[in-house]
Structure 1
Amino acid sequence: MIHEAKLMAELASAPEASESGAPILSNLSRRGILGGMGALVLALSVREGRAEEKSEPKKFGADGMPHGWQDDPTIFVAIAADGTVTVTNHRSEMGQGVRTSIALTVADELDADWSKVKVVQAWGDETRFGNQDTDGSRSLRHFFRHFRHTGAAARAMLIQAAAAKWNVPASEITTDKHVLVHAKSGRRIGYGEVAAAAAELPVPARESVRLKDPKAFRYIGKGEIGIIDNRDITTGRAVYGLDVKRDGMLYALVARPPVYGGKVASYDDAETLKVPGVVKVFKIDGGAIPSEFMPLGGVAVVAKNTWAAMKGREALKITWDDGPNANYDTDVFRGELEKAARAPGKVVRTAGDVDGAMAKAKRKVEAEYFVPHLVQAPMEPPAAVAQVKDGACEAWACTQGPQAAHDRLMKALGLPGDKVRVNVTLLGGGFGRKSKPDYVVEAALCSREVGGAPVKLVWTREDDLHHGYYHTISVERLEAGLDEKGMPVAWLHRSVAPTIGSIFAPDPKHELPFELGMGLVNTPFALPNIRLENPEAAAHVRIGWFRSVSNIPHAFAIQSFVAELAHAAGRDPKDYLLDLIGPARRIDPTTIGDVWNHGEDPALYPIDTGRLRRVIETAAKGAGWGRKLAKGRGLGLAGHYSFVTYTAVAAEVEVGPKGEVKVNAVDIAVDCGPQVNPERIRSQMEGAVVMGMGLALTSQMTFKNGRAEQGNFDGFEVVRLDAAPKEVRVHLVPSGTWDGPLGGVGEPGVPPVAPAIANAVFQATGRRVRQLPIRDQLSA
């Protein structure tokens, strides 16, 4: 339990919230808090005091909480004298609605009036708030039950305080939307009127807290609540990384090595220093491989405004040492990957006798699939403000990983943990790019160099595309031996791709367990003989997380290949896919080589082929599978399991006379277990469809002489508005109970989109798509 004095001290340096909860990002004074919230506050906490700051990695359980912690994580709920409920959100908001979903979970168990609920954003502190890395589609999966218990515990304390006030048993008191009710006497009192007394009570033990009957939910699972930040976002009051302003702020851009691993050989800043407004030019060290999350290096230009920094950077004369990746050419490298895919590699899963069964098969089918480098390209490029002064650093950033930013600032500046603070703004998209805080460190280095003035470090779109963390390039080779009925008796899959591990360790050549566990080793087909291999592949650019990560190439290859096998067998693709999956059963993923299992307990999260079958059947039914289509049109289908969620896509495409592909309609079915916020699930699936269309049709990054060839959206094409399907039908497939495990939502919708479109193209034209993006492949 935390009392007023302690809470005031904690919040005095926290980001402020606007009327609807968006951070204003100015430090609050104690007077300001008391004036805005009232003097009496209720808060819930695991323990008194702040844990000792440590620089070593934090250790977390499967639920995202530090080992050894009890249930209620630090300060998450405050109730003011006027009844206002303030929920602290510890995950980064980038359009997925996590601020809303966490708040509505607390509000429901608290039995609060939604109109009286606000949200503030937690700063980076995993010892206080638990794991804050917003990735892996795990925010609600890991914290839903914690926040239910937090809200329920607060409600129990309010009831106990009211019972003492009225001198009646607590069992006689109920709550009714922000009001405590004693039915026998007819007395009613608002939450704010007993908040002070409730704040004096101990937090009840977890086992004593009674959760709501789900039948009584007001908000959870209803899908009737909009985004809590919606008014601020639509009226321009919301604060993103690029919006942060500090008194006396300067602005900076960095000229970075054009080739990964390159460095500055020499530079001449004479012309730069003549640009009006330029304050400082200095060299940033970098170029080390592996690069981890630290800056690439280069030359920084700090100025009084962004335009001066841009013009100053343009005027720099730099001689680059391009380093070991100077000759990187993606066309050449693709050939190297294909060669590797055609030879045996490291075996990552095997069962039966693949070679023997392949030799006896009635027919053999083989195919290779290619996925290029991709880049996250969020609408808001990376940006951060930092101030390094008086032996401390404070940063404001659109980051998915505030604790990661905190730890890298400690490392770069040589500061103790309690002298570094990272405040989190809203994110204008992330998709994995903003989990890597190199740009936050750059901002801090600039501030230190100019004597402690706050500096806003800006990345342009060209910076973002030229110097990002790219989704891996990959070749997937599949071979199958078919029996007389056209079903596989042998299955061989070789996946060749540079690994994300290459940014952490020198030149690893194999994918890591979490990459292999994204749709490869956990292929859930009923196959008697299977061998999965991972040949070597080197990395020549920074490889990083991209929405749904390695599920993209694995799903594209496997679901496309299944459709090819169905055609070879003369079968309907849907029926063939369902037969390949086999009957409904639960598979322990560790028994088929998946030691990662998305970080979850395999006993709680087995692979359930019945759920996978249902989403495939649902998407197909929604699309009217089997109906006759006009010439040049086709239906394609794909299903996939990722982030412990099951999704399937049925896409209807039309191919024009010049080979142009138009996606007319998409049905996407998702089974993520209990649905906390259905409105956001639908939104995430709609967004996944559009993003997946970009991967299928237009998006790619290529390299020549180590340099990215695409610099803006004219080269790296995302799907335009006029290309969006006229209809995207989202089918929420219910499963599980509120006592059971939740799945993920943010990432699972993307993987099946591209193979569904590719399979639809074949149905429309008879031509196979084995490489992404499609672009002009069909124009010949």
Structure 2
Amino acid sequence: MNIVSKLSRRRFLQLTGISASGLVLGGILPAGGSLAGILDRPAGKELNIFVSVTPDGTVEIIAHRSEMGTGIRTGLPQVVADEMEADWHRVKVIQALANTEYGSQNTDGSRSVRDFYTVMRQMGAVAKHMLEQAAADTWDVEISECVARNHAVHHLNSNRHLGFGELAQRAARLETPEPESAVLKSADDFRYIGSSIPIVDLEDITLGKAVYGTDVHLPDMLYASIERSPWLQGKIASYDAAEAKKVKGVLDVVELKAEPGPPGFNPIEGVAVIATNTFSAQRGREKLSINWSESAHSEHNSSDYLDELAGRVKGGPGKVRRERGEVDAALAEAETVVEASYRTPYLAHASMEPPVATARVEGDRCEVWAPTQGPQATQREVARALKLEIENVTVHVTLLGGAFGRKSKPDFSIEAARLAAHVGKPVQVLWTREDDIRHDYFHACSAQYYKAGLDHEGTVTAWLAREAAPPIPATFDPGVTMMSSGGLSQGFANVPFVTPNLRMESHEAPAHVRIGWLRSVYNIPYAFGVGSFVDELAHAAGKDPAEFWLELIGRDRLLDFSDEGFDYSNYGRSLADFPYDTARTKGVLRKLVDSIPWGEILPSGQGWGLSVAHSFLSDVAVASKVEVKDGRLKVLELHGVIDAGRVVNPDRVHAQMEGGMIFGMSLALNGEITFAEGKTGQFNFHNYPIARMDQTPAIIRSHITPSTAAPSGVGEPPTPPVAPSIANAVFAATGKRIRELPLGKHFDV
């Protein structure tokens, strides 16, 4: 008799002895994880929307952003606790549901700390003020005589003190002051801000208790696996589900029609197999027979497309986006003219945890559990898809097993919600690795062309740059075919160079796949083009690349491109609050060079390369040391320096620097998605590999520049300078210029 039973991933690991490293060290993993922290609600008295205090003195702090390895569920509560004078050991962090009252919950764009640092300080200060007022009222004294310190309020004129728990009920009855009225601490008094506090999820992750998307299990839950159109906007022409329905455990086969209009956040059209377990659902899916209709994208070929874009940018002028001086005249008069073209491929996110979502629909209400970066977008889009009031959709955020921008798109949650509504029971939709790579919101490919003039002293007198890449807005409006100023602000049109004659141009690039944001977004291709070309110019001028960068950036100044016709986005923040300061850009480069043996004499086949990039309001410089031997490329060392303004948790910044550099190296060595006849050529880690341990350098170092400036981005800035630093190191080692990624196309990596 064949018996199919449901098996959690933890129980599978326990029974098989398999772990991510291939080795299980002593101890038994629990068969199922608790939803504590995911389903918890504040039990204490609410002092403001983010802070509650229980009678036993526990301070409950809401984490309204999604945790995907950055430590944000620790960092933002850490800020609140510091201003509140709470004892960190008596803090409980509770994951927020989707709720517009929290402000933006979209955890991407390296915005969590930079957008909410001051807000979280105000929330902590407001809570502290209310506790101090409650103590003053209890003792019938002036509030100026009451000071919160180490989880209690102390009376300055006596030995009296009251714990936060003792004051909670009285404080909660007070009117909450306006956040702007809060008196914030001096930085000299910080207890937690700037300290490397371990992440709050560390124990649960270590012990296997942490709840990720696949760990959600509800009573009577069913499982779905979906066969989707292999190309963008393909439709079901016909299908036969007879064999699929014969598979034991399969209960239903359901068409998921795509909504009319642009792709947006909508699910791809497909056929879902619903079963009592994931194995049966996937086995039934394999038995489906489906014919797909052609679309405007079913003949898309990525190689031909990139050839077309490269021809456009090299072939002639595009739309001018930023300009100063007379570039054409300066090029004509230059002592030396250097030109080069660069290409970068489509990329996939390929996070360790593929998309997964669980939904339950009862009447006019829906609940969703998902590892989502965008709980509010999920709430909004599920409500729209099911025609529900938005307040009737509850979104629970689990931990995310990686995301990199993919999980801010709610298409997989909509799939679960639509199927749950159809069958009348909870449904979990689990994407396979093949689904994840074949049906991603792909990072845009790019073609760039650069031409520069040098005078007899090797100084750049003219800079011409052209680019073409399918823009992200095309996913929501196919009529958008040219990069926005926001996209060009990510390292292409905002180069900080003092060159007297400069022009940046764009060409059209219609999208043929779903384009989405991926960690550091367009900074990836633009940093590769700019960083590689600067290195080429340095060698053409006979100058040290680091010194050439400093010369090209020029004097210390604050940048504003408005007088050059460019609408610089500055990542949505004002230049007054977040100035683009070239002194900081040069500072990270100088610190990088000082931290490595730059200029050392190396054995044949080895070389150092470096690059620098300003992204997400931070500056990062990266140096790579490589060895090329018998056609094999090995990255020996990676070093990075970041200036991200004031840092909340240095340990997490170092972790993100290390992770971001490895991510950038992985893309530089391996990352490429190809299309032929509209279909991806890659579908799992054997043909879309991520960096293996033997590819990762033995030496990885990160440095944080101390700063009192406003906090800026951390999660994404380490990635962009990596690829050009490696390519430049390859040139230093071999004399060979690589102008097309990935490097695995040119070497054995």
Matches within 5 A, 1:300-449: 300-342=272-314, 343-449=316-422
The residue number in structure 1 matching 2:640 is 668
Match of 2:142 among 157, 162, 169: 169
Once the two structures are superposed, residues 542-569 of structure 1 have per-residue CA deviations (whole angstroms, 9 ceiling, x without a partner) of 1100000000111000010000001111
Query: Are the aligned partners of 2:38 and 2:398 in contact in 1 as well (CA < 8 Å)?
Result: no
1:577 alignment partner in structure 2: 549
Number of the residue aligned with 1:612: 585
Where do 1:600-639 residues align within 5 Å?
600-639=573-612
Identity percentage over the alignment? 46
Q: Is the 8 A contact 1:371 1:475 kept in 2?
A: yes
Match of 2:199 in 1: 227
Preserved contact between residue 623 and residue 666 of structure 1 (Cα < 8 Å): no
The 1-side partners of 2:504 and 2:260 are apart by 33
| Contact 2:356–2:429, Cα closer than 8 Å, also in 1 | yes
Report the Cα distance in structure 2 between the residues aligned to 1:531 and 1:337, rounded to whole angstroms: 19
Instruction: Identify the residue that residue 227 of structure 2 maps to in structure 1.
Output: 255
| 1:77 is the counterpart of 2:51 | yes
- The whole-number CA distance in structure 1 between the counterparts of 2:300 and 2:177 is 60
Structure 2 counterpart of 1:650, from 616, 620, 623: 623
Task: Spell out the pairing of 1:66-145 with structure 2 (5 A cutoff).
Answer: 75-126=49-100, 128-145=101-118
Q: Residues of 2 paired with 1:375 and 1:776: CA distance?
A: 17
1:763 matches 2:743: no
Distance between the aligned counterparts of 2:495 and 2:439, measured in 1? 34
2:45 aligns to what? 41
Q: Quote the Cα distance in structure 2 between the aligned partners of 1:464 and 1:551.
A: 23
Moved more, 132-141 or 198-207: 198-207
Cross-structure match for 1:286: 258
Q: Distance in 2 between matches of 1:682 and 1:344?
A: 42
**What is the rounded CA distance, in whole Å, between the counterparts of 2:181 and 2:388 in structure 1?**
43
Q: CA deviation at 1:449?
A: 1.4
Q: Which amino acid aligns with 1:755?
A: P
Alpha-carbon distance between aligned partners in 1 of 2:700 and 2:356, rounded to the nearest angstrom? 33
Read off the aligned partner of 2:665 and give its amino acid letter.
Answer: M
Provide the alpha-carbon RMSD of the alignment.
Answer: 1.6
- Give the partner amino acid of 2:77: A
SS in 1 for 2:351: coil
What SS is found at the alignment partner of 2:607? Answer: strand
Structure 2 match to 1:190: 163
Residue 331 of structure 1: CA displacement? 1.3
- How far did 1:174 drift? 2.2
Letter of the 2:234 partner, please give it: G
Q: Which moved more, 1:86-95 or 1:481-490?
A: 481-490
Post-superposition offset of 1:590:
3.6
CA drift of 1:28 comes to: 6.2
Per the alignment, in what secondary structure is the counterpart of residue 533 of structure 1?
strand
Contact kept in structure 1, 2:122 and 2:180, CA below 8 Å? no
Alignment match, 1:70: none
Structure 1 contact 257–322 (Cα < 8 Å) conserved: no
Q: How big is the shift at 1:209?
A: 2.4
Distance, in Å, in 2 between the alignment partners of 1:547 and 1:23 is: 28
* CA deviation vs aligned residue, 1:142-162 (integer Å, no higher than 9, x gap): 111111111111111111211
For structure 2, the 5+ residue unaligned runs are: 1-32
Residue type of the partner of 1:92?
S
2:47–2:130 Cα contact (<8 Å) kept: no
Residue 322 of structure 1: how far off its partner (Å):
2.8
Does the 8 Å CA contact 2:324/2:501 hold for their aligned counterparts? yes
SS at match of 1:587: coil
Gaps of 5+ in 1: 1-20, 45-74
Question: Could you give the per-residue CA deviations for residues 275-318 of structure 1, whole angstroms, max 9, x where no partner exists?
Answer: 11111101111175520000111101111000000001000000
Q: CA deviation at 1:511?
A: 0.9
| Contact 1:263 1:287 survives alignment (8 Å) | no
Cα displacement (A) at 1:575: 0.5
Name the CA distance, whole Å, in 2 between partners of 1:207 and 1:27: 31
One-letter amino acid matched to 1:324 = A
Letter in 1 for 2:728: N
2:689 aligned residue? 717
One-letter amino acid of the counterpart of residue 211, structure 1: L
In structure 2, what residue type is equivalent to 1:654? E
Paired amino acid for 1:607: Y
3-state DSSP of counterpart to 1:701: coil
Deviation at 1:26, TM superposition (A): 7.1
Q: Deviations over 1:89-134 (max 9, x none)?
A: 11111011111001110110111111110111111121x1111111
Deviation per residue, 1:727-764 (Å, 9 max, x gap): 21111012234xxx221111111000110011111111
2:715 alignment partner in structure 1: 746
User: TM-score by structure 1 length?
Assistant: 0.90
Is 2:125 the counterpart of 1:152?
A: yes
Which residue does 2:746 correspond to in 1?
A: 777
Contact 1:653 1:663 survives alignment (8 Å) = yes
In the TM superposition, residue 192 of structure 1 has moved relative to its aligned partner by 0.4
| 2:280 partner amino acid | A
**Helix, strand or coil: the match of 2:123?**
helix
Deviation of residue 321 (structure 1)? Answer: 1.1
- SS for the counterpart of 2:46 is coil
SS at 2:416 equivalent = helix
Could you state the TM-score of these two structures normalised by the residue count of structure 2? 0.93
Give the counterpart letter for 1:437 in structure 2.
P
Match of 1:240 in 2: 212
Residue in structure 2 matched with residue 18 of structure 1 by the alignment: none
Q: d(CA) in 2 for partners of 1:686 and 1:101?
A: 18
Q: Determine the C-alpha separation between the residues in 1 that align with 2:38 and 2:195.
A: 34
Cα 1:279/1:154, change in 2 over 3 Å: same
Q: 1:122 to 1:613 in 2, by over 3 A?
A: same
Do the aligned partners of 2:47 and 2:176 also contact (CA within 8 Å) in 1?
no
Q: How much has 1:346 moved relative to structure 2?
A: 1.1
Instruction: Supply the AA of the counterpart residue of 2:291.
Output: T
Q: Is the 8 A contact 1:22 1:232 kept in 2?
A: no
- Report the counterpart of residue 9 of structure 1 in structure 2: none
The amino acid across from 1:246 in the alignment is L
Specify whether residues 25 and 609 from structure 1 end up closer, same or farther in structure 2 by C-alpha distance, changes over 3 A only: closer
Q: Which residue of 2 aligns with 1:702?
A: 674
The answer as to whether partners of 2:123 and 2:179 remain within 8 angstroms in 1 is no
Q: Is the 8 A contact 2:37 2:93 kept in 1?
A: no
Q: Is contact 1:288–1:296 with CA below 8 Å preserved after alignment?
A: no
Amino acid at match of 2:706: P
The count of corresponding residues between Structure 1 and Structure 2 is 715
- 1:178 paired with 2:151, answer yes
Q: Secondary structure at the match of 2:697?
A: coil
Q: Quote how far apart the aligned CAs of 1:490 are.
A: 1.2
| Superposed displacement of residue 426, structure 1 | 0.9
Contact 1:587 1:608 in 2 (8 A): yes
Aligned to 1:264: 236
- Report if aligned partners of 1:137, 1:643 keep a CA contact under 8 Å in 2: yes
**Which residue of structure 2 aligns with residue 482 of structure 1?**
454
SS of the equivalent of 2:242 reads: coil
How far apart in 1 are the matches of 2:606 and 2:265? Answer: 46
Maintained 8 Å contact 2:592/2:621: yes
Pairwise CA distance, 1:507: 3.3
